[in-house]
Amino acid sequence: MSDINIVFTRVDNRLVHGQVGNVWVTASGANLILVVDDETCNDELSKSLMKMTADAVGVQIRFFSIKKTIEIIGKAAPSQKIFIVAKTPQVIEQLVDGGVPIKHCNIGNMHKSEGKHILHEVHVYVDDQDEACLKRLKEKGVDVYIQITPNDRKYKI
């Protein structure tokens, strides 16, 4: 699976929205957004809204479950420059454990919710499970960092 052209991987609990579509897709040079989320791949309304964002920036978009991503990503064409986006770091860890060659993981928006505390001043809230997952990703060789937009400073975790 190492020949897969994954150009960017991001955790963002909003998945695909204006910031991802207009800023990160352009900065990464991606031509395909791969939304990996078991729930969203069955939610037609969410998919249609995200597809509008992808269409507006001229890239393809796919919606796969974690299992399907692991099974099918090895069939990606070399011309596909893949931008993976998931809601949680746990999804990224499952992909890595399933053999998806993710080398870098940008932590974007992880919003405040019950039981979460601030990890970084700009929209990154985690609980103990999130922190443990981020640590495991680093131990597995993934460069994990916080950067909200490409023009912002990178914060190593």
Active site residue 17: yes
In a domain, 117, yes or no: yes
SS3 at position 155: strand
pLDDT the model gives residue 38: 97
pLDDT the model gives residue 41: 92
Question: Checking phi first, is residue 51 left (phi over 0); if not, alpha (psi -120 to 50) or beta?
Answer: alpha
In a domain, 106, yes or no: yes
In a domain, 156, yes or no: no
Yes or no: say if 109 and 102 are a contact pair by the CB < 8 Å rule: no
Angle (CA) 15 82 38, round 5°: 40
pLDDT the model gives residue 1: 53
| CATH, residue 23 | 3.40.35.10
Domain that holds residue 59: 6-151
- Structural domains in the chain (count): 1
Mean pLDDT, consecutive 10-residue stretches, the chain (157 aa), reads 86 88 91 97 95 94 98 95 97 98 93 81 84 96 93 88
Yes or no: say if 63 and 47 are a contact pair by the CB < 8 Å rule: yes
pLDDT the model gives residue 118: 83
In a domain, 39, yes or no: yes
Contacts of 60 (CB under 8 A, 6+ apart): 31, 32, 33, 54
pLDDT the model gives residue 2: 54
In a domain, 89, yes or no: yes
In a domain, 157, yes or no: no
In a domain, 1, yes or no: no
pLDDT the model gives residue 20: 78
